[in-house]
Amino acid sequence: MGEIKKSKPKVGIVGLTSCEGCQFSVMDLGNRFLELLQFIEIVQFRLLEEKVFVTPTMDICFVEGSVVTKQNEKTIKEIRNQSKILVALGNCAIMGGVHQIKNYHQPDKLIKETYFYSDKIDNPDVLDLKDVVKVDYTLPGCPINNLEFLRLLYSLLKGIDFKIPLRPVCEECQSRGYRCVLMDNHQAGEKGQMCFGPIIQGGCRAICLKSAMPCQGCRGLFKGAQAANHLKHLAEIGYSQSEINHQLEIYGLRNEVEEK
């Protein structure tokens, strides 16, 4: 994709239904984020300014969050119409996130248990952005790796291609010398923790494994992942299908696995 234009590109960072963690991750860049203002004009970003009532025209728009409501769907379509380049920012935008758990568990029953006047509340299936509009780039994670955000943005400004290296979380985990929570207990005759590291796209620096927590798959499957083989292994070491599905649903990974 070519360079956008010579004047400062107009950039938006917006959220649908989300915790805004990916947006805060961008803010955590600190001075590096402020340095970006030499090269771009921020035209919409709730964490920096008051609410924008009219969606501006944008060269690049980063969108965090899932499409949970009809208003979310209307908003993302408007953003798509106003944006030359649309980037899905984080797990909720790319995979539906934790919100998508609802889709698997009797949503009509759940809304009645949650709201007294449930008949007055919209209850559509939770969608990720690509279910509704064309997405040009994705930045996975919960939250995103903010250095990947920088690399993507600078790549777009320079008109060069952007790709995340195809490697599993396992590779990052092992190269850092972290304990394998999936396999370490085998010699003791115990089953390991349910870890999806062998099939999940790396780039997170194996941050969960650093704290001896298993990978729950927030970055999605990497291209070529042998998901069926890994799930078969989890069943063989003692996990039930119900337990596996529960873990797959946390970050919307179940959809990806079932589509393979």
Same domain for 195 and 142, yes or no, is no
Query: Looking at the predicted structure, is the pLDDT value of residue 4 above 80?
Result: no
Same domain for 198 and 87, yes or no, is no
Same domain for 127 and 27, yes or no, is yes
Query: Looking at the predicted structure, is the pLDDT value of residue 79 above 90?
Result: yes
Over the stretch 11-61, which tens digit does the pLDDT of each residue have?
999 999 999 999 999 999 999 999 999 999 999 998 887 666 788 999 999
Over the stretch 130-185, which tens digit does the pLDDT of each residue have?
999 999 999 999 999 999 999 999 999 999 999 999 999 999 999 999 999 998 86
User: Where would I find the beta strands (DSSP E) of 16-164?
Assistant: 41-45, 58-64, 83-89, 137-139
Mean pLDDT value across residues 224-237: 95
**Distances, alpha carbon 33 to alpha carbons 53, 159, 203, 245, in Å:** 24, 20, 20, 38
d(CA 85, CA 11) in angstroms, rounded, equals 10
Same domain for 147 and 18, yes or no, is yes
Residue 4 lies inside a defined structural domain of this protein: no
Report field, pTM of the whole predicted structure over 0.75: yes
Q: Tell me which residue range forms the domain holding 154.
A: 10-158
% of the chain with per-residue pLDDT over 90 = 81
- The whole-number pLDDT of residue 23 equals 97
Residue 93 lies inside a defined structural domain of this protein: yes
Q: What is the CATH number of the domain that holds 131?
A: 3.40.50.700
Q: Are 230 and 196 in contact (CB under 8 A)?
A: yes
d(CA 237, CA 210) in angstroms, rounded, equals 23
Number of structural domains in the chain? 2
Same domain for 217 and 197, yes or no, is yes
Mean pLDDT value across residues 122-137: 95
- The whole-number pLDDT of residue 57 equals 96
